[in-house]
Amino acid sequence: MSRAQHIIPSGIIFVVGLWIAWVSFTEQPAEAFLFPRLISTAFVVLAGWTFLKALLGWSKVGTGVSMRMAVNLAPGLFISLIYIFWLAKALGFYTATTICFFILLTLYDPAPHNEVKVWVKRAVITACFIAVMYSVFALLLKVYTPREILF
């Protein structure tokens, strides 16, 4: 097992976490980013600890990220990047999240793609996921979510 299989992915996640934390601490209005600040700080601490463990060679669990696993994750990463850098701003948080979640669910669901029953199940799961997200962010936490075209 190569140490690089632990160091590279954990390093990338740590850098992404630092970027997210930096954005949450520098964007305005400050009160809108209170919840992201809390989450991103916890994320950076945990990602930093994981990266440090990988650098020191303490990551003895698992075999790291294999090439096959990286290939399997690439489409989801591509869709996530489109979501983060374009779709959420263009369509609004909830609309973009619905579209991306449905695409990712369809992409990674091993069920066949030629059965109507499976598509209905995916749509119901997506609707439930978005309902929970809306309930948590808008109703329970009353936090700001990006609002653009739709909602």
pLDDT (tens digit, 0 to 9) for every residue of the chain, 151 residues total? 577 778 888 899 999 899 988 888 888 777 767 777 888 899 999 999 999 998 998 877 666 677 888 899 999 999 998 998 888 888 888 899 999 999 999 999 999 999 999 999 999 999 999 999 988 888 887 776 666 544 4
Task: Return the amino acid letter for 140.
Answer: L
Nearest residue to 76 (alpha-carbon basis) of 103, 109, 110 = 103
- Return d(Cα 54, Cα 12) in angstroms, integer: 12
pTM score:
0.69
Q: What confidence score (pLDDT) does residue 123 get? A: 97
